[in-house]
């Protein structure tokens, strides 16, 4: 199934109908972009420091 468009009486596209899977993927992309934007100012840590913390917390094996 492909995207379909709803047009007005002048032929101008006014709405789109797309498969639910494409819609869900689009929502996920929007959510991911918003999350990235919100986290831009968070402090970052070197991978090795983070890995050590995960090992200390028992999340990763030593």
Given phi > 0 = left and psi -120 to 50 = alpha, else beta, which region is 11?
Answer: left
Could you read off the pLDDT of 30-57 as tens digits, one per residue?
999 999 999 999 998 899 999 999 999 9
In a domain, 44, yes or no: yes
For 54, residues 6+ apart whose C-beta sits below 8 A from its C-beta are 60
In a domain, 31, yes or no: yes
Q: Which domain holds residue 49?
A: 4-56
In a domain, 30, yes or no: yes
- Closest Cα to residue 22, out of 42, 2, 52? 2
In a domain, 61, yes or no: no
In a domain, 43, yes or no: yes
Tokens of 39: 């986290």
pTM of structure: 0.58
If one counts the domains in the chain, the total is: 1
């Amino acid at each position: 199934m492909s995207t379909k468009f709803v047009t007005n009486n002048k032929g101008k596209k006014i709405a789109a109908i797309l498969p639910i899977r494409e819609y869900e993927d689009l929502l996920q992309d929007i959510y991911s972009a918003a999350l990235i934007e919100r986290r831009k100012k968070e402090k970052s840590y070197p991978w090795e420091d983070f890995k050590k913390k995960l090992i200390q917390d028992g999340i990763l094996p030593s």
